Structure 1
Amino acid sequence: MKTYIAFLRGINVSGKNKVPMAELKELLVDQELKEVKTYIQSGNVLFKSEWDNTKELEKLLSAAILDHFKFNIPVIVKTVEQVKEILNQNPFKTDDENLQKQNYFVLLNNWPIQDDIEKLTLEAYANEEFLVTNNCVYLKCNVGYGKAKLNNNLIERKLNVLATTRNYRTMNKMLALSN
């Protein structure tokens, strides 16, 4: 049985797409997922499954949420190993807690095409640094994500993929929960 982390996009934001975590947990247990744990209201779920395919798990979770809550929520599922790799490859890695707060991870559901990556890489955004990889855009927001021009929606448009963004603390917490 493998351990996975699911990141739901766009739930419990400004009163829209309300998904109570206890109800989500129960729904996922009903989908035969094991040891389901949620973390904060933004849709972070740790679980175990016999399934071996993250794309099929994404479809399962999205379909269950649509059926139960009646709205479509994109879901990105990563293995614990993939999350470790994303954290280890962070080009903005630091031990300084104040600087860690500037680190964001834009998780991509599919690999963007190389042309789109190259076009985005040529762009510059004031007070922001970024690196695009096949499964994540590493984002350092020197004045905070709330003021970032290169946000989740813009990255989705520029790279033609679905994405969801998490901060450094959440990514590390999900990894810690997996142990």
Structure 2
Amino acid sequence: MADYVAFLRAINLGATRKFDKAAIVAATEGARFTGVATHINTGNVRVTTRLRSRERVRDVLEAAYLADRGFAVPVAVLTPEELRQAVVDGHALAATMPEGWDGRAYASLMRDEPTPEGVAALEACSTEDELAVVRGRVAHLMVRGYGTSRMTNVAVERQLGVSTNRALTVLEQVVTKWC
């Protein structure tokens, strides 16, 4: 059996994309995953499965969520090891920001493996006080204000494809809770 952490994209936005924690657990268990748990109501889901392929886990979850909700729910799947490394990397990158930097650290978790060209294009958007660095399937964003920054999940998706964004503090909570 293998453990994975799935991050759901674009749920609980507006009136038509509702997917509460209880419904997520029910749909996930209905797809034959065990050890299902959620963290806050933004689509962070731990699963245990016999499936060994991240892509297969993602595909089964996406099909289950589409069947349950009637709308597509893209999913980024990471192993506990990848998630722990993402938190370590996020802290290391935040520590490289200029003295007096008062921004925040975010991570965009990618559904699919990024291309080298996309990685280069996203990282080229960095400035002296906003940074984008890709490590594996995680794009780390160091920004002053998420709503006013050029470094957002929209920028990540433009270069790297479907992803979902979490504050580094949320990833820390998930790691503490499940990894």
Q: Relative to structure 1, is the Cα distance of residues 16 and 152 closer, same or farther in structure 2, using a 3 angstrom cutoff? A: farther
Scaled by the length of structure 1, what TM-score is found? 0.87
List structure 1 segments (4+ residues) > 6 angstroms apart after TM superposition.
none
Q: Number of matched residues?
A: 173
1:60 paired residue number: 60
Q: Relative to structure 1, is the Cα distance of residues 69 and 100 closer, same or farther in structure 2, using a 3 angstrom cutoff? A: farther
SS of equivalent to 1:147: coil
For 1:48 and 1:101, the matched residues in 2 are separated by: 35
Q: What letter corresponds to residue 156 of structure 1 in structure 2?
A: E
1:177 paired residue number: 177
2:18 paired residue number: 18
Consecutive unaligned residues of structure 1, counting only runs of 5 or more, are: none
2:139 to 137, 140, 145: 137
Q: Deviations over 1:68-108 (max 9, x none)?
A: 110001001111011112222223245xxxx8971101111
1:157 paired residue number: 158
2:86 paired residue number: 86
Q: Deviations over 1:115-172 (max 9, x none)?
A: 2222232224584222123311111112x2222222112211122x211111112111
1:119 to 121, 138, 142: 121
SS of equivalent to 2:174: helix
1:102 paired residue number: 104
Scaled by the length of structure 2, what TM-score is found? 0.87
Query: Mean Cα displacement is larger for which, 105-114 or 84-93?
Result: 84-93
SS of equivalent to 1:145: coil
SS of equivalent to 2:78: strand
Q: What letter corresponds to residue 102 of structure 1 in structure 2?
A: R
Give the deviation of 1:46 after TM superposition.
Answer: 1.0
